[in-house]
């Protein structure tokens, strides 16, 4: 999970970024290659001008064939309209702090988006004027570990329903209080023939806990079923709710199938032989799923098993957590799975959505799934079989010294492409803007166990590089099929993780003076203390910059084409090197551009030349845009718009909150 449910935290932070990392993070012109555009066709009544899915097409490439906005004129983009969703929570009054992570979709001339309060809005895409709004009336004071956020909706066209009839186009939303809701795309009224007068409860899962089992990402739709995952606060206790993935009939709401990523019987057999009771939960799909209708496949990215940092009660690989899994759309049948991390002890979720593309490899056209995770590795898998297209080898990794823990002896390392984020950091590499800062960072790093990537948690304290924000996170990536380039934003924030014996946990919480986050991992023999590593004087990361990058990977060759710093932790201050951590991903267009916001502390939307990585446009936003943008062309006037949600990152407490949906267009 991206943000676990936290136990008491020592609130003596002095840095706005430290506050964020402690309280927040834890807590297409047609393609030249055959088949590359196969996933962009859809049945929602639109065309390439629309953006009918979270990732533009059903396979999540985030590639738009529009080129009205291009390298030559992007510098003239201006704000066309701004819409305010009106939903902001600063975290007071028993409510969690809100964020605005929605990526709108455009279907048949209407723009649909969500607020952090789960309200659904329909807007005129030309003017930004509201057509309707639906409020599911969630309990805003719920204990939602991810805070008040939602990343958007999904749409479905009922081919059996005549034009003009209610609910011919259905808008599906999953809510923080665990409901699946179906709305009429034309009016916003609930589709009364779906479930119980327009909604289905998603709370009927093993070990359900209100608030700690919720939904933040849009569902996936394949043919006549709606597929939903869940967000689970997987680090607060051992036996968290089941991470079951379920599919419901898009017309009636009836349950069609369900799939368990961590089947208790299979996992229990190994642990029973060792005389232990197998206990865990989660392994859930909290990020965005994608589909291949031609193959009748749903691709599911899964997160870590609970709790994140101690696995002694869940021995074995914990399949299929930390994986990408292909399920049959009609039946939920398991087709294949590939695990990116065995027996996860680092919170290294498969947070990024899978991406479906077609590559030219070894003289052949290969349909692939591209899946990255927080380690910074990218895995390229055959879409039909899950077999790696670029070789992957199991390599020995550091082993635990914690009583009761059994680490995986190996982990899967792709031989190509190279990692897109740093994966090691020595004390000699410690960075600081002053000699005093460097020395502080050096001493902090020297005190930790540091055996490279996959150094397991320890009682002494271990270094985690990347930390649990990544590498890659839910921001994901975008693929330009014309140039075979995958554009991805990554983070470079080293973290400390230290196990705390349960009998000492509360005493340490009361007396520890180090900034960080304590979580009890209830039911385990160890709690966890985590913090990102900063120099205390100037509050900049101890890793050499850049602390955030944008990278283009040549997916035909398996090499990095370019990599540049993304944003700045101190905009306007040339003394601070470039590169800011980001949450909120890129899109690419046939205009030769990659657009991205997402940068923390840095409230900007940027355009990069997709072939060179040169930043060629930047526009200020009302606050940081912690979301992925989208683009479309209206049919009425034929204008291309670029839209981004700007509401601040939920955990960055000194970013001013806002509630803006901002649309740009050419003069």
Q: Average pLDDT of 463-481?
A: 97
C-alpha span between 414 and 412 (Å, rounded): 7
pLDDT for the residue 274: 53
Give tens-digit pLDDT for 279-289. 999 999 999 99
For the chain, the average pLDDT equals: 91
* Higher pLDDT, residue 216 or 17: 216
Q: How many CB atoms lie within 10 A of CB 636?
A: 10
Q: Average pLDDT of 459-469?
A: 97
pLDDT for the residue 512: 87
Give tens-digit pLDDT for 489-524. 999 999 999 999 999 999 999 998 888 999 999 999
User: Residue 267 pLDDT more than 60?
Assistant: no
C-alpha span between 445 and 461 (Å, rounded): 10
Q: What angle do CA 390, 392, 393 make, to 5 degrees?
A: 150
User: Residue 607 pLDDT more than 60?
Assistant: yes
Predicted confidence band at 48 (pLDDT cuts at 50, 70, 90)? Answer: low
Give tens-digit pLDDT for 546-599. 999 999 999 999 999 999 999 999 999 999 999 999 999 999 999 999 999 999
C-alpha span between 58 and 6 (Å, rounded): 35
Q: What angle do CA 402, 404, 406 make, to 5 degrees?
A: 80
- 456, two tokens: 């397991």
Q: How do strand 559-565 and strand 548-554 relate by DSSP bridges?
A: antiparallel
Closest to 576 in 3D by CA, of 441, 434, 423: 434
Predicted confidence band at 155 (pLDDT cuts at 50, 70, 90)? Answer: very high
Give tens-digit pLDDT for 295-346. 999 999 999 999 999 999 999 999 999 999 999 999 999 999 999 999 999 9
Q: Average pLDDT of 177-191?
A: 98
Q: Alpha-carbon torsion 476, 481, 484, 487, what sign? A: negative
Q: Average pLDDT of 92-103?
A: 95
Beta bridge partners of 488: 477, 551
Predicted confidence band at 651 (pLDDT cuts at 50, 70, 90)? Answer: confident
C-alpha span between 286 and 577 (Å, rounded): 33
CB 613 within 8 A of CB 74: no
CB 389 within 8 A of CB 381: yes
Q: Respond yes or no on whether the N-terminal peptide bond of residue 320 is cis (omega within 30° of 0).
A: yes
Helix (H) or strand (E) holding 181: strand 179-184
Q: Average pLDDT of 434-444?
A: 96
Question: Per-residue b/e over 250-271, b at no fewer than 16 CB within 10 Å?
Answer: bbebeebbebbbbeeeebbeeb
Q: What dihedral do alpha carbons 173, 656, 27, 337 form, nearest 10°?
A: 50
Beta bridge partners of 412: 394
- 116, two tokens: 């952090």
User: Residue 36 pLDDT more than 70?
Assistant: no
User: Residue 531 pLDDT more than 60?
Assistant: yes
DSSP label at residue 468: T
Q: How many CA atoms lie within 13 A of 48 on its CB side?
A: 16
Tell me, rounded to whole angstroms, the distance of Cα 665 from its chain centroid. 27
Whole-model pTM: value is 0.93
Can you list the domains of the chain with their CATH numbers? 16-665 (2.140.10.10)
pLDDT for the residue 615: 98
DSSP string, 6-45: P--B------HHHHHIIIIII-----SSTTTTGGG--SSS
pLDDT for the residue 537: 78
DSSP label at residue 290: E
CB 40 within 8 A of CB 57: yes
* Higher pLDDT, residue 145 or 262: 262
Closest to 625 in 3D by CA, of 579, 660, 587: 660
Range in 213-227, 276-290, 372-386 with the lowest mean pLDDT: 276-290
Predicted confidence band at 5 (pLDDT cuts at 50, 70, 90)? Answer: very low
Catalytic residues: 347
Can you give the C-alpha Rg of the chain in angstroms? 23
Question: Per-residue b/e over 283-308, b at no fewer than 16 CB within 10 Å?
Answer: bbbbbbbbbbbebbbbbbbbbbbbbb
C-alpha span between 413 and 411 (Å, rounded): 6
Residue with tokens 């397991």: 456
DSSP label at residue 615: E
C-alpha span between 642 and 639 (Å, rounded): 10
């Amino acid at each position: 999970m991206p943000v676990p449910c936290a136990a008491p935290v020592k609130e003596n932070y002095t840095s706005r970024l430290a506050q964020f990392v402690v309280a927040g993070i834890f807590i297409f012109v047609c393609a030249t290659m055959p088949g590359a555009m196969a996933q962009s066709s859809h049945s929602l009544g639109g065309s390439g001008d629309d953006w009918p899915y979270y990732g533009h097409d059903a396979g999540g490439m985030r590639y738009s064939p529009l080129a009205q906005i291009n390298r030559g004129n992007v510098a003239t983009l201006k704000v066309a309209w701004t819409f305010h969703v009106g939903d902001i929570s600063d975290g007071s009054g028993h409510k969690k702090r809100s964020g605005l992570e929605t990526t709108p979709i455009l279907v048949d001339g209407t723009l649909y988006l969500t607020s952090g309060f789960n309200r659904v809005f329909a807007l005129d895409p030309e003017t930004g004027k509201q057509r309707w709004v639906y409020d599911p009336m969630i309990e805003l004071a719920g204990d939602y570990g991810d805070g008040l956020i939602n990343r958007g909706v999904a749409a479905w066209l009922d081919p059996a329903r005549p034009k003009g009839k209610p609910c011919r186009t259905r808008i599906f939303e999953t809510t923080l209080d665990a409901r699946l809701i179906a709305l009429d795309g034309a009016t916003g009224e609930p589709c009364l023939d779906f479930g119980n007068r327009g909604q289905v409860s998603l709370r009927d899962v093993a070990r359900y806990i209100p608030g700690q089992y919720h939904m933040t990402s849009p569902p996936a739709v394949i043919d006549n079923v709606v597929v939903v995952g869940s967000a689970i606060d997987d680090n607060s206790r051992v036996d968290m709710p089941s991470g079951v993935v379920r599919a419901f009939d898009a017309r009636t709401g009836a349950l069609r199938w369900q799939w368990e990523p961590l089947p208790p019987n299979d996992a229990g057999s190994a642990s029973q032989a060792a005389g232990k009771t197998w206990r865990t939960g989660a392994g859930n799909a909290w990020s965005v799923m994608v589909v291949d209708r031609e193959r009748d496949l749903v691709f599911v990215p899964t997160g870590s098993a609970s709790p994140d940092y101690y696995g002694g009660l869940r021995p074995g690989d914990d399949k299929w957590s930390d994986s990408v899994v292909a399920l049959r759309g009609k039946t939920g049948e398991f087709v294949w799975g590939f695990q990116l991390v065995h027996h996860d002890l680092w919170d290294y979720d498969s947070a990024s959505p899978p991406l479906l593309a077609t590559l030219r490899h070894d003289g052949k056209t290969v349909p692939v799934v591209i899946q990255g995770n927080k380690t910074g590795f990218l895995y390229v898998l055959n879409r039909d079989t899950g077999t790696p297209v670029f070789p992957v080898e199991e390599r020995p990794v550091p082993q635990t010294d914690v009583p009761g823990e059994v680490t995986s002896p190996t982990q899967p390392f792709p031989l190509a492409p190279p990692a897109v984020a740093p994966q090691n950091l020595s004390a000699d590499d410690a960075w600081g803007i002053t000699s005093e800062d460097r020395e502080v960072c050096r001493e902090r790093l020297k005190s930790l166990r540091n055996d490279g990537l996959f150094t397991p948690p320890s009682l002494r304290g271990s270094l985690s590089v990347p930390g649990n924000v990544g590498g890659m996170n839910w921001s994901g990536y975008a693929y330009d099929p014309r140039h075979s380039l995958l554009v991805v934003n990554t983070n470079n924030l080293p973290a400390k993780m230290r196990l705390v014996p349960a009998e000492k946990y509360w005493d340490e919480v009361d007396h520890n003076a180090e900034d960080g986050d304590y979580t009890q991992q209830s039911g385990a023999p160890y709690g966890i203390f985590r913090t990102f590593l900063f120099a205390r004087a100037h509050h900049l990361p101890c890793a050499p910059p850049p602390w955030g990058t944008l990278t283009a990977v040549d997916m035909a060759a398996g090499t990095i084409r370019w990599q540049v710093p993304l944003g700045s932790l101190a905009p306007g201050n040339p003394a601070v090197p470039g590169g800011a951590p980001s949450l909120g991903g890129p899109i690419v267009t046939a205009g030769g551009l990659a657009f991205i916001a997402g940068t923390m502390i840095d409230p900007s939307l940027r355009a990069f030349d997709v072939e060179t990585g040169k930043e060629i446009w930047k526009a200020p936003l009302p606050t940081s845009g912690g979301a992925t943008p989208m683009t479309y062309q209206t049919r009425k006037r034929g204008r291309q718009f670029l839209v981004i949600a700007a509401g601040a990152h939920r955990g960055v407490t000194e970013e001013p909150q806002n509630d803006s949906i901002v649309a740009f267009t050419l003069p």
